[in-house]
Amino acid sequence: MAKAKYKFNPETLSYTKVEHNFKAKLPRLLLLFSASLMMSIIITVVFLQFYETPKTRSLKRENQRLLTQYELMFKNLENVEKVLADLQQRDDNLYRVIFEADPIPNSIRKAGFGGINKYAQLESLDNSELVIKTARKLDIISKQAYIQSKSYDDVLNLALDKEKMLASIPAIMPVSNKDLKRTASGWGFRIHPIYKIRRFHYGMDFTAPIGTEIYATGDGIVKDVQTSRTGYGRWVVIDHGFGYETLYGHMNEFNVKVGQAVKRGSVIGYVGNAGTSSGPHLHYEVHKNGKAVNPQYYYFKDLSPQEYDTMIALSSNMGQSYD
Which tens digit of pLDDT belongs to each residue from 65-114?
Answer: 777 877 888 788 888 888 888 888 887 776 777 666 778 877 777 766 55
- Best CA proximity match to 313, nearest among 178, 200, 183: 183
DSSP structure string for 75-140: HHHHHHHHHHHHHHHHIIIIIHHHTT-PPPPHHHHT----SS-TTGGGTTSTTHHHHHHHHHHHHH
User: What is the residue-wise DSSP string for 193-241?
Assistant: TTT-SEEEE-SEEEE--TT-EEE-SSSEEEEEEEE-SSTTSEEEEEEEE
CA distance 164 to 281: 30
Pairing of strands 220-227, 234-241: antiparallel
pLDDT computed for residue 75 by the predictor: 83
For the beta carbon of residue 217, count every other beta carbon within 10 angstroms: 30
Question: Which has more confidence, 13 or 290?
Answer: 290
Q: How far apart are CA 139 and CA 81, in angstroms?
A: 12
Please give the Cα distance from 265 to 217 (Å, whole number): 6
Q: What is the pLDDT of residues 113-147, one digit of tens each?
A: 555 577 777 777 767 777 778 888 888 888 888 88
pLDDT score at 223: 96
**Distance, C-alpha 96 to centroid of its chain:** 13
Q: Is the pLDDT of residue 253 over 90?
A: yes
Q: What is the largest CA-CA distance in the chain?
A: 155
Percent pLDDT > 90 in the chain is 25
* Mean pLDDT, all residues of the chain: 81
Q: Does 319 have pLDDT greater than 70?
A: no
Determine the Cα–Cα distance for residues 215 and 218; give it in Å rounded to an integer.
9
22 or 226, which is more confident?
Answer: 226
